[in-house]
Each structure stands twice: as C-alpha cells, then as structure tokens.
Amino acid sequence: MLQKQWSYLMIAKNISAMETATVVPKYIPLMQKPKCCAVGCLQMILYRNGYGLYDQEDLAIEFGVKIGSDDRHAFREDMPIMTEFNCDEGISTVGSVDKINSFFERSSIALEATAYPYASLGTLEELIADNLPQNNDIWIEYHSHEVHAGDRDNKRIHDALLESFDKKTGTAVLIDPKPGRRQRVTVPLGTLERSLSGQFGKELGIVVVRKTTP
C-alpha cells in the first residue's frame, strides 16, 4: 500500500513539474502502406532508437497485417484480409505486445513493449507524465474519426506516436503516418483520451516502449 501511495505521489510530482515534454531525438515521420499504420509506427520507433530503417513491408508480413481486398497489389505476399473497418483492420496493437516483444527478442533489440488498455489506463496525462520525460515511446491506437476532422464519417482504427505534450494548452502532438495528412497533428488531450474508449466500438489504448539493458 505504501509503495502504491509513493507511486501516486511521484506521478503527481511529475505532472506538476512537467510543463512541456518532448521525446529526444524527435521522430522522423514516415508514411504508411495501406492498413500499415501500426507497423509504420513501429518502424519509426525502431529508427528513433537507433536500430536503423526496417522495411515496412517486412514488418507487415512479420505481424500479419490485415489489409483490404483492394490492397493486394501493394504487397509482394498474400496478406490476411480484414473483415470490416473499426474492427480488425491492420493489427490489434494493444493486443499484440507479446508478438512485439518476441520480435524485439529475436532481433536483439533492447526494447520492451507494455500495453495499457483504456479501461486500465488511469488518465492519459498521468501516463504521459510517467513516460515522456523518461524518453519512452508512447504508441497510441485510437478511433480516427474522433481525432481527425476529415474522418468524421469514416470510422476507422488508427495508430500514431505521441511526440510531445504541452500542459499549458492541454495538447499533444502526434506523428501521423497516414499519407495526405499533416505529419505532426496537435490534438487536445481530452479528445485523444476519449478516442481510446469503447464508446466508439472496440476499446483501444496505448503501448509504451521502453529501453532495456542489452
């Protein structure tokens, strides 16, 4: 109990002390292949952490990305086919941490992924305060139509990376791999947190990627 209280006090201290925070180095934004927002984010995480530029299509094949039937031409191998949007397009990022960690281990990558489903999240600001100053990667799986004005009638699940947070304005900057959008998108924290919830369909969440001892 004392340990838990101490943890809450440290998080509260981090939040009060953190006016702004940004990962260092910042991300180099990369664009995704069809339905590959999740592995596009993984590609950027690996590159930012010094592991080189992995081939996104290799990652898509590795993780079994589900694509649309009209996307077959974009891949060199037969890929699984999704059933519908806002359901099983791409991969289930929060549900794939075991596979992500297995990939890290097999590839001798000193990183570790931890899933935070929306129901067990606490608050998004607490998670940011606990991880962004530590330079951890915050990988967000969210309902796209809630965040992007152009997607209001286009309900899809999407992934992006949280690059920075500004407490004064209550906003975060996302690195968005989708072609045709700004690569850096400023989002109110309340909107972003709401977009993770199950009120729009499937409950989503966050994967935090931390460095480990090699």
CATH assignment of the domain containing 46: 3.90.70.30
Out of 121-135, 142-156, 161-175, 192-206, pick the least confident: 142-156
Asked whether 59 and 35 are in contact (CB, 8 A), the reply is no
> What is the average per-residue pLDDT within 33-49?
98
- Please give the pLDDT value at position 17: 53
**Phi first, then psi: what are they for 187, rounded to 5°?**
-130, 135
Lowest mean pLDDT among 139-143, 148-152, 174-178: 148-152
As a whole number, mean pLDDT of residues 118-131 equals 94
Count CB neighbours of 61 within 10 A.
Answer: 16
Give the Cα separation of 83 and 122 in Å (integer): 31
Q: What residue has token string 């990183």?
A: 111
For 53-110, the pLDDT digits (tens) are 999 999 999 999 999 999 999 999 999 999 999 999 999 999 999 999 999 999 999 9
From residue 147, give the alpha-carbon distance in Å to each of 141, 144, 170.
11, 5, 15
Mean pLDDT calculated for residue range 124-145: 96
Write down the pLDDT at residue 18. Answer: 64
Residue 70 to residue 42: CA distance in whole angstroms? 24
Q: Please give the torsion angle defined by the CA atoms of residues 30, 35, 38 and 39, in that order, rounded to the nearest 10 degrees.
A: -70
Strands (E), 32-136: 111-117
Q: Are 136 and 208 in contact (CB under 8 A)?
A: yes
Q: Residue 11: what pLDDT?
A: 39
Q: Which domain holds residue 116?
A: 2-211
If one counts the domains in the chain, the total is 1
Tell me what pLDDT residue 155 has: 86
Nearest CA to 123 among 9, 13, 12, 4? 12
With 0.95 as the threshold, say if the pTM is over it. Answer: no
Average per-residue pLDDT for the chain: 91
Pairing mode, if any, of strands 171-175 and 184-188? antiparallel
